[in-house]
Amino acid sequence: MKTFFFTLWFLLSISTVWACEVQPLFSPYDKVDEAIHAQLALASKSVHCSLYGITNQRLASDLIAAKQRGAEVGVGLDKMQAAGKSDLHAKLEAAGILVEIKPVNVLEHNKFCAIDGSIVIMGSWNWSSSAQKQDNSDVIITDCPKVAQAFEAAYQRIIERDKPQ
């Protein structure tokens, strides 16, 4: 009987590692923007993103909506991309979202978000208004808490790295 309970405990404890879902998406074939929108709509505690740039109005609005729901929202952006006429960082800042624009000598080329400490959106897909139609890019959405912890830690390092002393 002891062996049965130990085996049951062991299987249940390791099953949490195997229980992570991974959703791979590829634009323009899959609706990457819809999948990201759905995840942002569920955010309740935090959304921390490190992005090359953001010109996608819908996803910017989703970040603002998360902030309005009470989530802590922060975005790190590339300086060259943030200087573009279509970049939406001013709209995010006006909504009270922390926006950290990296200095020109530090390329901010990531495209990831850690959501609520448990979800990660990552991949080569740009958060641009044209990415869904034009790009051949990938995104993975996963609900693995250990992966989310690693991306959350990376976000924190990125945000802190270049702040004035």
Q: pLDDT, tens digit, for every residue of 9-53?
A: 444 444 455 579 999 999 999 999 999 999 999 999 999 999 999
Query: pLDDT by residue (tens digit) across 52-111?
Result: 999 999 999 999 999 999 999 999 999 999 999 999 999 999 999 999 998 877 788 999
Collapsing DSSP to helix, strand or coil, 45 comes out as coil
What CA–CA distance (Å, rounded) separates 139 from 2?
44
Overall fold of domain 21-161: Endonuclease; Chain A (3.30.870)
Kindly report the pTM of this predicted structure.
0.86
Residue 74 is which amino acid?
A: G
Bridging pattern class, strands 98-101 and 72-77: parallel
